[in-house]
Amino acid sequence: MRNLIRLFRYARPYRGPVALAIFSTVVVSALGAASAGALQPIFGLVFHMGSAPRLSLPGPLQDLGPQLLSRLPESLASNALTLLSLGVLVLLLGAILRGIFSYLEEYLVSYVAEAVKRDLRDDLYANLHALSVGYFTRTPTGEVMSRLTFDVDLCGRSLLWLFASLLKEPFSAVGLLVVLFLINWPLALIALPSIPLAVYPIVKFGKKMRSRGTAIQERRAELNILLQQTVSGIRIVKAFAMEAYERFRFAQKNAGLFRACMRIAKVDALSSPVIEILAFGGVLLMVWLGGYLVVRGLILPEELLTFLLTLALFFQPVRKIGKMNNSIQHGMAGVRRIFELMDTQPEVQEIPGAIVLPPMRERVAFRHVSFSYDGHQEVLRDVAVSARMGQIVAIVGPSGTGKSTLVNLIPRFYDPTAGVVEIDGVDIRRVTLKSLREQIGMVTQEIILFDDTIFNNVVYGRRDVSPERVVRALSIANALEFIEKLPHGLETRIGESGVLLSGGQRQRIAIARAVVKDPPILILDEATSSLDAESEELVQAALDRVMEHRTTFVIAHRLSTVRRADKVLVLYEGQVVEQGTHAELLACGGTYARLYRAQMIEVGREA
């Protein structure tokens, strides 16, 4: 219920369209009920065509019939066929009015539902960007995409169904129920017990629909995850000739989704016949009882016929409510998943009253920093190092020793479990995330580029960057030469993740993006590890120019690239076991020296 209330709150900004839609619904329901009641005088005219015309109105309105006839011209009041034609014309006009207001109601409800979906997507997307990196490390991309697409669409449909089941159909049912009592209240009282019988399956089947709806959304998310992974890794799939294996995996997940859909279809398909049988049973009871009353002369034939038709019309909205309730319960699974994501809190948050970090002038310092991803096993232990303004600090060590984790603490992708990271003596947890991250540039092994032009990838949303500045950044990154050879230059689109460029070209675009940002702190996380020798030479030359006058943290897989570092940190099992210059560490003959010699031997073998 709480999630349902929250969903309705999203419709609050659209009170105007909602109010107009409700008004249209009331008009449609009233016209529908009036049309049903108007059938009695029409049937009366048909059944008594050979005698003097009379208007047979429902129940308490029957005394109005003669009064209405007396107000009509004699030529019209005495002609039953003319009165019948007039009645049919009035019903036709009522149907046209119903159509106009029904269109207005459906359009407005669709408008509100789509607006709510838009707002939900905006809020979800904003919340996603507020979440910490740890969330995306734990959550598959396909799961996130599923919630932003399938679940939001399901929420929109649920809102449409909710409006219909809570307003449109109940108004119609109430209006028709009033007409039933106007036609013949004793018969209406006898028919009342059939209503709870028709409502019971709605409640019963609704509970099953909710749990099975959750299963469907989870199966859809699993399928989306697999699809996203397969498409993004299509080169590996083809390189290993694993197409058949991936088809098999997809077929399994798809079959799981099919089974989940059929389980919910079974419940959905069963609800309508059950309600139909109960409703039809109620109508048949009224046929028998009403027929008995007509034979006894207690009610008029047109009264019974109008009552039966109105009763049949009454069960239509009841049946629709049952059908829609099933869909709503299915949709509530999507609503739950959306608000579950909306309620996810970032692990890294700004403190109240966070200050703006001034431009860095002195140093970045790790004060006895420890870190654990799971709260148990420490990835970093008591790291105490610093880097002065303009220094190049290289971080080396075996794989899995916490090198990337260490540099990821600087932009607060994660917070230390113990100790403090400081910039110019200020604990970075005390500053705003925006002011902190504006002072940090990153170039990683995993190059993140977008399906856009080279120019837009370099400026990446910064509107204050001139084309001249972009050209200068590309020149520093050794990228200008190959860009000038492209048919559209800076306006060349590079495809998803820069797939239309080589690895070295993509890396140089990423370096140019860091240059345009012009940050005082630069993080290079194995920025040349996946490149061939020629590309690495070009990229390394670009990096050498970029690192000038910046505090740079370099994670390098090739130890030969860290020779010019002012300081080398050697990490082993999460601890800094050695630090110094390249020459000092070689002279010590410790861990760094062993790693360096082993790598040089390997290089010699490859040569």
Of 129-133, 278-282, 415-419, 474-478, highest mean pLDDT: 415-419
Q: Indicate the SS3 state at residue 238.
A: helix
Helix (H) or strand (E) holding 189: helix 185-191
- Same-domain status, 116 and 212: yes
How far is Cα 293 from Cα 274, in angstroms, rounded to an integer? 29
Q: What is the pLDDT of residues 543-592, one digit of tens each?
A: 777 787 889 999 877 666 688 889 999 998 899 999 998 889 998 888 88
* CB count in 10 Å sphere of residue 220: 22
**What is the pLDDT, as a whole number, of residue 379?**
93
118-132 in b/e form (b: 16+ CB < 10 A) is eebbeebeeebeebb
> Looking at the structure, do residues 338 and 359 belong to the same domain, yes or no?
no
| 460 in Cβ contact with 513 (< 8 Å) | yes
Nearest CA among 397, 393, 416 for reference residue 567: 393
Local confidence band at 218 (pLDDT 50, 70, 90 cut-offs): confident
Q: Is 70 exceeded by the pLDDT of residue 192? A: yes
| Lateral strand order in the sheet of 551-555 | 440-444, 521-525, 551-555, 392-396, 567-572, 575-580
Mean pLDDT, the chain, whole residue set: 82
Q: Are residues 209 and 358 in the same domain?
A: no
DSSP state of 355: B
With beta carbons less than 8 A apart as the criterion, state whether 552 and 524 touch: yes
CA distances for 475 relative to 107, 455, 511, 599, angstroms: 55, 13, 10, 32
> Domain boundary residue among 316, 342, 368?
342
- Is 353 a member of any domain? yes
450 in any annotated domain: no
| pLDDT of amino acid 327 | 72
Residues 134 and 183 in one domain: yes
Domain of residue 42, residue span = 2-342
State percent of the chain over pLDDT 90: 18
The yes-or-no verdict on residue 33 having pLDDT over 90 is no
CATH number at residue 584: 3.40.50.300
Specify if 304 maps to a domain: yes
How many Å is the maximal CA-CA distance in the chain? 124
Determine, yes or no, domain membership for 603: yes
Rg (CA), the chain: 37
| DSSP character string of 13-74 | GGHHHHHHHHHHHHHHHHHHHHHHHHHHHHHHHHHTTTS-------GGGTTHHHHHHHHS-H
User: pLDDT, tens digit, for every residue of 514-539?
Assistant: 888 888 999 988 766 656 666 667 77
The reply to whether 323 and 364 lie within a common domain is no
Mean pLDDT over residues 510-515, rounded?
Answer: 86
Task: Kindly state whether residues 239 and 385 are assigned to the same domain.
Answer: no
Same domain as 260, residue 229: yes
Is the model's pLDDT at 55 over the cut of 60? Answer: no
Give the lowest-confidence range in 249-258, 273-282, 368-377, 532-541: 532-541
Nearest of 492, 438, 436, 486 to residue 464 by alpha carbon: 438
Taking only the tens place, the pLDDT of each residue in 372-419 is 988 888 999 999 999 999 899 999 988 888 999 999 999 999 999 999
Higher pLDDT: 81 or 30? It is 30
384/297 same-domain check: no
For residues 105 and 19, give the distance between their C-alpha atoms in angstroms, rounded to a whole number.
Answer: 10
- pLDDT band of residue 63 (cuts 50, 70, 90) is low
Of 297, 320, 342, which one is at a domain's C-terminal end? Answer: 342
At residue 83, the pLDDT reads: 65
Per-residue model confidence (pLDDT) at position 380 = 94
Both 246 and 366 in a single domain?
no
Mean pLDDT of all residues in 78-95? 73
Q: Given pLDDT bands bounded at 50, 70 and 90, which one contains residue 607? A: very low
- Residue 47 belongs to some domain of the structure: yes
The pTM of this model reads 0.75
Helices (H), 50-184: 64-71, 74-77, 80-130, 133-138, 141-146, 152-163, 169-183
- Residue 59 — pLDDT band, cuts 50, 70, 90? low
Residue 201 maps to a domain: yes
- Is the same domain home to 104 and 153? yes
Is 425 found in the same domain as 323? no
End-to-end Cα, the chain, rounded Å: 69
Please report whether residue 180 resides in a domain: yes
Structural domains counted in the chain: 2
Is 355 found in the same domain as 307? no
At residue 54, the pLDDT reads 57
In a domain, 547, yes or no: no
Measuring CA to CA, which residue among 111, 421, 169, 213 is closest to residue 319?
A: 169
CATH code for position 140: 1.20.1560.10
Residue with the bigger pLDDT between 231 and 592: it is: 592
Range picked from 44-53, 326-335, 482-491, 593-602 for highest mean pLDDT: 482-491
484-487 own/partner pairs: CB under 8 Å, 24+ apart: 486/454
Of 308, 324, 342, the last residue of a domain is: 342
